[in-house]
Chain A
Amino acid sequence: MFRGQRGWFCGSVGQDLRQLWVAEGGTVCDVQAADFLFSCDASHPDTLRIYQSLDYIEDNATVFHAYYLYAVANAEMKTSVALGHFILPPASVQKEIRRKVGGFIWEQDKYFQIEKHDEL
């Protein structure tokens, strides 16, 4: 599914999710070279750095919640998982969105088999 794709992972993403990425053919790389930016925590310094970058403000760097990888792993049709549902906006933006439309799909735990993350 992710063959030839390069992914960057925030420190907030657990090892199991990185492994899912690699198992699907993805490679791990730095922010600049990445096609996909994954995070589990919009307030993590690694992810904050992206929100403060020129790439981000010029619409060239959308961060996705790494639960996208769980969703893909669990989907019968891997390509049927819509990436758009997994956009992870900055924390202040999330607050505003929650106020207006309720939650995000990645907050619905029942869709994801949450395994223990490295809590480091």
Chain B
Amino acid sequence: ANDDCSKMLLNRCSGCIAVRKSLNSRNISKLLHSCPHRCDHHKIIVEAEDKYKSEVRKSFICNKKILLTPRRRQLRIES
């Protein structure tokens, strides 16, 4: 299993192993989506998450829980 792990790391692209101090929960998803050389692992994570997200989005629309109008998010208010 440890071999699998190092292999997993070796085969990953620059987007995946990006080390940037500014990277966090709010921007990493956009980085992974915009990364031009998606490695397999990366592609699979992004695609699988996107599929999940589109299902949640659908259920939102069905339940009319939230109006999915403008894509622009409200600015988070700094506390």
Q: Is the interface of B mostly helix, strand, loop or mixed?
A: helix
Interface size on A, residues (CB 8 A): 43
Contact assessment for B45 and A89 in the assembled complex, using a CB-CB cutoff below 8 Å:
yes
A82 lies within 8 A of B17 (CB):
yes
Give the contacting residue for A62; candidates B12, B17, B29, B66; CB below 8 A: B29
A101 x B40 contact (CB < 8 A): yes
A5 CA to B42 CA in the complex, in Å?
26
- The residues of B with any CB-CB pair to A shorter than 8 Å are 1-2, 4-5, 8-9, 12, 15-19, 21, 23-26, 28-30, 32-33, 40-42, 44-45, 48-49, 51-54, 56-57, 60, 66, 68, 71, 73, 76, 78-79
